[in-house]
Amino acid sequence: MKLVEPEITVIARPSLDLREVAAYLREIGGEQWLARFDRGTLDDPPNDAETLAEIAGRMCYRSWEPGLNPNVTRVRTDQAAYLRNVLSSAHGSVLEHANFTFLLKNVSRVLTHELVRHRAGTAVSQESLRFLRLEELPFWFPDWAKDDPELMERTGKALQDLEELQLWMARHFGLDREDVPFAEKKHRTSFMRRFAPEGVGTSLVWTANVRTLRHVIESRTAPEAEEEIRLVFHRVGELMRAEAPALFGDYEVTDGSWTPAWRKV
């Protein structure tokens, strides 16, 4: 048994091509919106996730500047104020254009089985135990469990027995022999994973758009949520507030629970 802690990092984020945005704005007469970059009234460099959400929103109403749409006589010029209005008016569709990709390491299959329920707006690539042979069982224990000596002794022994079973089966099936074809190794490894506990640590790449992230952070940090997924998505919330504060700065965090000012965006 190897004691592990969940690790979460952002490995990909939106990247804007402002040259293409500028070409579109010149065509429709909205160059003044882009001029804000030159005047320093937007971040330099801009926050691409926040700016992409703003571009998507302004596209809907052609609200780059007054007059482009005769029905729009005034526009918000401050990006943070514009995005607050997007959130407060629940114009959540524009948030779906901004995607972030996370590497979740040392999370259990208890967590991943719950995470796959959030299918809309996500992509998942998870370590495959059909191909990956287990030689040790990485395992996360919450602090309250670590403080229980008898519990740790008994569960540690159970995990050690399961590890030894994995190693025995690999020897029994001769998986390290050079004459064993890969298809046979895959077949046997698939059988062996049936004896790995659901709490075994795994890794996955998880991508979600901002609208989905707002929902998952709220629901999976709620007090009634499973404790490991609460821990992980508290960390995801912290990462996202640093990545895109105008899109995640409305949350109130109390005892690890993230509650947005504007729900169902």
Residues labelled catalytic: 220
Tokens 């169902």 sit at which residue?
A: 264
Pairing mode, if any, of strands 201-209 and 257-260?
unpaired
Position 255, amino acid: D
**What DSSP character marks residue 200?**
B
What dihedral do alpha carbons 55, 122, 6, 230 form, nearest 10°?
90
Kindly state the tokens that stand for 245: 């504060």
- On whether the CB atoms of residues 152 and 145 are closer than 8 A, the answer is yes
Question: What whole-number distance in Å separates Cα of residue 226 and Cα of residue 162?
Answer: 25
3-class secondary structure, 99 = strand
Q: For 194-225, b where at least 16 C-beta lie within 10 A, e where not — what string? A: eebeebbbbbbebbbbbbbbbbbbbebbeeeb
Cis peptide before 14 (omega within 30 of 0): no
